Amino acid sequence: MALSGSEMGLRYHNRVAVVTGGTKGIGEAIVRLFVKNGANVIFCSKEENAGDLEKELLESGPGTGTYVSCDVTKEDEIRRLIDVTMKTHGRVDCLINNAGWHPPEQRIDDTHAEEFLDLLKLNLIGYFLTAKYALPHLRKTQGNIINISSLVGIIGQKHAIPYVATKGAVTAMTKAMAVDESQYNVRVNSISPGNIWTPLWDELSSHSANPEAMILGGKDAQLLGRMGTAEECAKAALYLAAEGTFCTGIDLLLTGGAELNYANKNQQETRSSIYH
């Protein structure tokens, strides 16, 4: 069936995408942009419902957005998420692993193994299991996976060892998965954002002694002098899904240049005692 003029401008028309952590921040922006470009999106979080967002997407179109409650730390719920997607749409073209959390400051001396394990289950194992259950269907459509990682998985971050470890593992897992899935023409890529203004950033700054100074520092970390937006992350994801058809195993840095140039990174409270 021929597409109408308006449909021809849609970049992911009639494709089916699954987005975890899709009710706020980067995930919500991805859901909105994919629906705007004609995709049928199944999005999840562990909230009980997301009726307002689902209703808004239904009214705005031209794609569709269907909410499914899913705690990605629980394997049976992940399996159900993919089953619902197949029952609803009969296919999967794109999986976007986004659900995750950045805890407040965690010093190694004060962090228990159980806390680290809980974060691993959410930020890493959840990605692995969602991919595991989606891949049999993605192989049939020669689809793709996009894992939302983080710049700090490459450059590190102060007082965030568990979080940095999970994101470094996501980036590495993406490359290994890209190798294995290339035989099925399934592409696997990651996006590593730097400082992106999201509800999570707002929450983290509110826990600091000086939220305004923390936010200003977050802006100043980029060469472009600002934080990125969730919408910019969504545009990167749509590119990888729709146009980046020769991209696999890449880690797209969405950072405003935060990793470039020298800067004062000395964490010593004083240097004088070393020499005197």
* 3-class DSSP assignment, residue 105: coil
- What radius of gyration, in Å, describes the C-alpha atoms of the chain? 20
User: Which domain covers residue 40, as residue numbers?
Assistant: 12-198+230-257
Nearest-angstrom CA–CA distance, 73 and 261:
38
Q: Into how many domains does the chain fold?
A: 1
Q: Is residue 205 part of a domain?
A: no
| Interacting residues of 98 by C-beta distance below 8 A, sequence separation 6+ | 19, 20, 21, 22, 26, 27, 30, 148
Q: Is residue 247 part of a domain?
A: yes
Nearest-angstrom CA–CA distance, 135 and 12:
19
> pLDDT digit of tens for each residue in the chain (276 aa)?
445 545 668 999 999 999 999 999 999 999 999 999 999 999 999 876 788 999 999 999 999 999 999 999 999 999 999 999 999 999 999 999 999 999 888 999 999 999 999 999 999 999 999 999 999 999 999 999 999 999 999 999 999 999 999 999 999 999 999 999 999 999 999 999 999 998 878 887 888 888 888 888 889 899 999 999 999 999 999 999 999 999 999 999 999 999 999 887 887 754 433 333
Dihedral angle computed from the Cα positions of residues 251, 255, 257 and 261, in that order, rounded to the nearest 10 degrees: -80
Nearest-angstrom CA–CA distance, 71 and 76:
9
Q: Is residue 214 part of a domain?
A: no
Helix (H) or strand (E) run with residue 84 in it:
helix 75-89
| Interacting residues of 167 by C-beta distance below 8 A, sequence separation 6+ | 123, 149, 150, 152, 153, 192
This prediction has a pTM of 0.91
Q: Is residue 223 part of a domain?
A: no
Query: What CATH number does the domain containing 134 carry?
Result: 3.40.50.720
Q: Is residue 144 part of a domain?
A: yes
Q: Is residue 7 part of a domain?
A: no
Cβ atoms of 194 and 258 within 8 Å: the answer is yes
Q: Is residue 131 part of a domain?
A: yes
- The set of catalytic residues is 163
| Interacting residues of 269 by C-beta distance below 8 A, sequence separation 6+ | none
Q: Is residue 216 part of a domain?
A: no
Question: How many residues appear in the chain?
Answer: 276
